[in-house]
Amino acid sequence: MLCIKIIAAIFILNLGFLDALNNKSFPPDFMFGCATAAFQIEGAWNEDGKTPSVWDTNNHRIPSVIADNSTADVACDSYHKYKEDVALLKELGASHYRFSISWPRILPNGTNDYINPLGVAYYKNLIAELKASNIQPLVTIAHGDLPQVLGDLGGYYSLSFPDWIRDFARVLFDEFGDDVKYWFTINEPYEVCIYDGAEKAYDCAANLLKAHAKIWHLYDEEYRSKQHGKVAMVLNLNWYEPETNKTDDIIAAETKMQFSWGFFGHALYHGDWPEIMKSRIGLRSKLEGYAKSRLPEFTQEEINYIKGTNDIFAFNTYTTSMVRAIDEPEIGDPTPEKDVGVYEYQPDDWISGASPWLKVVPWGMRKLLRWFKQEYFNPEIFITENGYSDATGQLNDPNRTDYIREYLSAVKDAMDYDGVNVIGYNVWSIIDNFEWNAGYTVKFGLVNVDMNDPNRTRTKKDSFYYYQKVCQTHCIVDQCID
């Protein structure tokens, strides 16, 4: 009996890893690559005319708000070592590389009254190095590093923000557009907005949707016909699984999906906010004594302007959560969590990476992809980030290899059995880097970076060699059947 209990416990613990691996090849044109962000890898935070970003300011607060009291002042030093990084991508066999362009490195004043030639030269050199290695550049326009000078003027909440970022995008299209076919406007807008509370978060979201739409329309009207690229916003979050098959839990999970993915995705594909957001926030706002809903109302002109401005569905995801129906939260100080009105959690017995929120749940990926297909009219889908963290950066990293293999198997299942149109996948990340408030305490890279070495020495991990095989063979197992 004890033996049976032990076996059962092991089965539950490893539930995500026990599905049969998909042994069919990905299509020859499927894009396998890696992703990074400028602030997290470049360093050179005050070199060659670059001014501080809001994250530079955050880094230098005293006392530190970073887990290990570190900064990204040097980070991986990719500003000086980009050729090494491109050489790693070439050895990997990556078809593409998703990176972001530092806004304050290109526009030190935040606006396009002055374009920094040294900043432009850096990215021109990076792109030339990529193209010489037959690696396609995929560019994120805004990935966290808003110029501090614009942050001081209201940042993401300023009514001028959509114009600021459109003008930045214009510079990028002019300087790099002939070589870039995939543009990602704003990375993870949910994370940009949601932590500022239930009164400001929705204003922020509306502003970012308008900003994204301005970039898309600019590209569509002035650049698409000659540069032939695609433009998308990068959404993020988890798959939300109902705790039981009870109707209340199923509704609760769908509510959570609409308040997370639908927060931005619904407006991009359907126009306007999801109905459940409008009804719940509107009712709770009224009961809280507000004269109107805390959720801004789009005009019909704004709805038409935003709708249809996503050329592909680009998203970052790492994990899954469970959702349970609960009683309606009490009326009082509003919070985004009360607006959703569900209970979200992750079981303790799910396998976790070093990041406590990152539970390894491959089956959630297939369900998420299927939901996107049904919700957003079967779009082309690009998985712009997916990866596993450990705490040591160890070279022998079987958990990362297992994670990539299992999640890619779920992706291929969704393609084969659910008809989901996935065109590409990025591991986060090619190298260990600065992970925002976690600093260097968690490592996501296929390549170790020694942050204690002034040379920031790079050393390939075992997972690099596994993903190299995937990139080169388009097969996640030893041998595919087709």
> Which residues are tagged catalytic?
188, 385
Contact 165, 211 (CB under 8 A): yes
Contact 250, 242 (CB under 8 A): yes
Q: How many CB atoms lie within 10 A of CB 392?
A: 11
Look up residue 132 and give its two tokens: 């010489």
Residues 6+ apart with CB under 8 A from 247: none
Residue at 320: amino acid letter: T
Please tell me the distance from the alpha carbon of residue 47 to that of residue 112, in angstroms, as a whole number: 19
- Strands, sheet with 239-242, edge to edge from the N-terminal-most edge strand: 239-242, 320-325, 342-345
Please tell me the distance from the alpha carbon of residue 57 to that of residue 47, in angstroms, as a whole number: 16
CA dihedral (404, 409, 412, 414) in degrees, to 10, reads -110
SS3 at position 98: strand
Query: What single-letter DSSP state applies at residue 160?
Result: T
SS3 at position 230: strand
Residues 6+ apart with CB under 8 A from 154: 160, 161
